[in-house]
Copies of this chain bind each other. A is one copy, B any other.
Amino acid sequence: MQRKSEELKRRLFEIYDLQSVAELLRWDQTTYMPPGGAAARARQMAMLERMAHEKFVDPAVGRLLDDLRPYEEGLPYDSDEASLIRVVRRDYDKMVLVPAAFVGELESHLAASYESWVRARPADDFAQVQPYLEKTLEYSRRLAGFFPGYEHIADPLIDFRDPGMTVATIRDLFGRLREQLVPIVRAIAARPAVDDSCLQQSFPDAAQWDLSLEVIRKLGYDFERGRQDRTPHPFTTRFSIGDVRITTRIREDDLVEGLFGSIHEAGHAMYEQGIRPELEGTPLADGASDGVHESQSRLWENIIGRSRPFWQFFYPRVQAVFPEQLGQVPLEAFCRAINKVQPSLIRVAADEVTYDLHVIIRFDLEVALLEGRLAVCDLAEAWRERYRQDLGVTPPDDRDGVLQDTHWYDGTIGGSFQGYTLGNIMAAQFYETALSAHPEIPAEIEQGEFDTLRRWLRGHIWQHGRKYTASELVERVTGKPLTIEPYVAYLRGKYGEIYEL
């Protein structure tokens, strides 16, 4: 058994390394690659991914998993060995159901769809992508069809990104969250607007860059095992637990985008840097799900990064870096500015209160499309209608409406949005638990100390990698199933104060 387990790990290590190398190629492609490298790069990434896939769906892996079943059953559920076999089996059983020919066909289609979207968005031309999207919907349904016995057609698609989550669970959570959010947004809209003009001055790029490095270093992002570079769309990527890199984007007319972008990505990265080194080279050396990953980035970006204790410590430093711009702006006004709530059209630029409404709209539309209740030709109109209802704003065009996110144009429909809001809900539930164990955390943050919080997150969440599903993790860490109460309480408390509701 020991020998078979070693053999399985040897194979997994090679697959992990192939995938990690493909990630490095992708990182280089978006950071430093000259344009002439594009053709070879696409080919080389595809080769590595194909090799990794072939090595994973190799029937020998299936046989090893079968042979290891009695061994696994004799081990404690949360031992590394049992968890590895369990998670690999879950992945393997899913992967082998999807024919390689289908994957190839889908990838070619999505590449063409993405190309079409790249042209259609600036031209505000939904009609151009509509046939692609119709085909993507068909592919998404076929993909779900490979997984027998699901309750809802979107379930297998959601399961790729948030294992164990289902439409039933998410619909319930999101439905109740929406009921809470819509009135809060309306109440805030009735209050005087917050003045955030202090954030829209000229903040020189180099100073912003250095500031972002200083802040995330202080939070605990380990530069011995990571680095920050620039890309148009920020992301986090891992080539090993010892090399987890982030990227950011800085705009000179806006202090918020670069700084909070860096904090957000550092949150993702600290999660992966915090995985136990013993899990390196296995599928356990990864985040538990989209939702759990997002809970870590949003916790640092919003719950910590937009909190008053945080800025009690950092604001004098920021004022010292930008004395002309912020020297005369009081802490109070700055904190209000970075927490301004304003219903808007664009998800990625949305504030903390309205953000989830953007996500819930997309989730509901995805589900409606998959169920056949909504046709692609009616999608743009359905989008506008929901924005009017939920956010009180109506997109004047599709560019800032249904064409705004890349997700449906370079990926399948179903499963790609729920993680953002699941992450917000989890973040609040995790943080509430951390606070009850360590009520001193906010006072420490006021002193620029993040050790207690970081140690708690590493001990309870980061170190486990993918050993537990999101639901298991939430139960283990907080003693309760996932619930919106802590998140709603957090939003009510914070924004009730800012807007004197």
Chain A contacts to B: CB under 8 angstroms: 14, 17-18, 20-21, 24-25, 28, 32-41, 43-44, 47-48, 222-227, 229, 239-243, 245, 280
Does A14 lie within 8 Å of B225, measured CB to CB?
no
A-B contact pairs, 27 of them (CB 8 A): A17-B43, A17-B44, A20-B44, A21-B21, A21-B44, A24-B24, A24-B25, A28-B28, A34-B223, A34-B224, A34-B225, A34-B227, A34-B242, A34-B243, A35-B224, A35-B225, A36-B224, A36-B225, A37-B239, A37-B242, A39-B242, A40-B239, A40-B241, A40-B242, A40-B280, A41-B239, A41-B243
Report the bound CA distance from A436 to B32 in whole Å: 41
Kindly provide the distance from the CB of A355 to the nearest chain B CB, expressed in whole angstroms: 32
Report the bound CA distance from A43 to B240 in whole Å: 11
Name A243's contact: one of B18, B21, B33, B224 (CB within 8 Å). Answer: B33
Query: Can you name 14 extra interface pairs (CB under 8 A) apart from A37-B239, A40-B280?
Result: A14-B47, A17-B47, A21-B21, A21-B25, A21-B44, A32-B227, A35-B224, A37-B225, A37-B240, A40-B242, A40-B243, A41-B239, A41-B240, A44-B239
Report the bound CA distance from A227 to B34 in whole Å: 7
Does B240 lie within 8 Å of A39, measured CB to CB?
yes
Report the bound CA distance from A43 to B18 in whole Å: 11
Kindly provide the distance from the CB of A10 to the nearest chain B CB, expressed in whole angstroms: 11
Report the bound CA distance from A242 to B34 in whole Å: 8
Contacts of A24 in B (CB 8 A): 24-25, 28
Kindly provide the distance from the CB of A213 to the nearest chain B CB, expressed in whole angstroms: 13
Report the bound CA distance from A243 to B42 in whole Å: 13
Name A20's contact: one of B17, B40, B224 (CB within 8 Å). Answer: B40
Report the bound CA distance from A25 to B25 in whole Å: 9
Q: Which 6 A-B pairs have the closest CB atoms?
A: A37-B243, A40-B240, A36-B225, A36-B242, A17-B44, A36-B224
Kindly provide the distance from the CB of A284 to the nearest chain B CB, expressed in whole angstroms: 16
Name A40's contact: one of B17, B28, B37 (CB within 8 Å). Answer: B17
Report the bound CA distance from A21 to B40 in whole Å: 10
Contacts of A36 in B (CB 8 A): 222, 224-226, 240, 242-243
